[in-house]
Amino acid sequence: MAGHAATTDTAAISVRGLHKSFGPLAVLKGVDLEVARGEVVCVVGPSGSGKSTLLRCVNLLEEPTAGTVRVAGVEVTHPDCDIDGVRRRIGMVFQSFNLFGHLSVLQNVMIAQRRVLRRPAAVARRIARENLDRVGLAEKADAYPAQLSGGQQQRAAIARSLAMNPELMLFDEPTSALDPELVGEVLAVMRSLADEGMTMMVVTHEMGFAREVADRVAFMDGGAIVESGPPAAVLGSPRQARTREFLHRVLQQ
């Protein structure tokens, strides 16, 4: 099958031989990963292991140095790929929320619907309100991001992505910038998304979330996936020494 044409395979994300270097620094050293449709995959590992870079390569926020990435059958690493077209099918949630500061919460959830999907204002507003309701922020629609707590901002950012009807969602350490008491509300929204069958790739330090929600956990270290499998196996009885070491350190905290 040539180039970026659609294929019949069921993989939502398919990463093959992915390498990424920043100058002389090799961050990803040959990563292979598949995420099936409807699957929730959590990527865990120590800081600097390349988790976030891997995630950012999926929607090409980082340009891979070598290797291929296919999303929903489209090869995004192909030079002719219409990346804007693929990105509108991929939701992304950032560690630092990145809500648009000059827009109200409702406008944040509307703007890409309007400008990218060209939905009429009334339709975009209705869909925005539905998704704000879904993340429990219906009453904050007219607030500005700066007036919200971190947890509320992150839930608004999730609503902003959901309003685009994405086929899959990427989460880049969505709770790492939150005060501990606000982590739960964001994880609850993510859990309900997973329950509804959303395809999710989640880079996280929340081992409890990974254990309970993930279908599969991938442990990364040194720019490669060291082991992956069901959470009970990877987190419960890891085969690799590096995984055991990492879990030992994390669980001591």
Partner 1 sequence: MAGYLVFAAVLAGVALGADWGRLADAFFRPDIAAELFPEIITVALVNTLLFTGLAFAFGLVLGMALALMRLSSILPYRWFAIGYIELFRGLPSLLVLFMVGFGVPLAFPEAQIVGGVYGAVSFGLGLCAAAYMAETLRAGIQAVPKGQLEAARSLGMSHARAMVSIILPQAFRIVIPPLTNEFIMLTKDTSLAYVLGVTASSIEVTKFAGDALNRTVNATPLVVAGFVYLLITLPLSQLVQRLERRGNRRK
Interacting residue ranges for partner 1, rule: CB under 8 A? 59, 61, 84-85, 87-90, 92, 94, 96, 98-102, 111-112, 115-116, 144, 146, 157, 160-161, 164
Q: Which is closer to partner 1, CB of 125 or CB of 216?
A: 125
**In sequence order, what DSSP letters do the residues of 84-145 get, joined into one string?**
HHHHTTEEEE-TT----TTS-HHHHHHHHHHHTS---HHHHHHHHHHHHHHTT-GGGTTS-G
Write out the two tokens for 84.
Answer: 């804007």
- Rounded least distance, CB 154 to partner 1, Å: 12
Q: Which is closer to partner 1, CB of 82 or CB of 245?
A: 82
Sign of CA dihedral 16, 21, 26, 28: negative
**In sequence order, what DSSP letters do the residues of 33-62 get, joined into one string?**
EEEETT-EEEEE--TTSSHHHHHHHHTTSS
Q: Which residues contact 104 (CB under 8 A, 6 or more apart)?
A: 141, 142, 143, 144
Write out the two tokens for 206.
Answer: 């929340």
Q: Which is closer to partner 1, CB of 16 or CB of 144?
A: 144
Q: Which is closer to partner 1, CB of 115 or CB of 249?
A: 115
- Rounded least distance, CB 152 to partner 1, Å: 16
- Rounded least distance, CB 48 to partner 1, Å: 20
- How far the first Cα of the chain sits from its last, in Å, is 48
Q: Which is closer to partner 1, CB of 162 or CB of 226?
A: 162
CA distance 2 to 14: 15
Q: Which is closer to partner 1, CB of 144 or CB of 229?
A: 144
Q: Which amino acid is at 54?
A: L
- Rounded least distance, CB 169 to partner 1, Å: 11
- Rounded least distance, CB 6 to partner 1, Å: 18
Q: Which amino acid is at 1?
A: M
CA distance 182 to 154: 10
CA distance 253 to 39: 29
- Rounded least distance, CB 156 to partner 1, Å: 12
Q: Which is closer to partner 1, CB of 33 or CB of 170?
A: 170
Question: Which SS3 state, helix, strand or coil, does residue 225 take?
Answer: strand
- Rounded least distance, CB 150 to partner 1, Å: 14
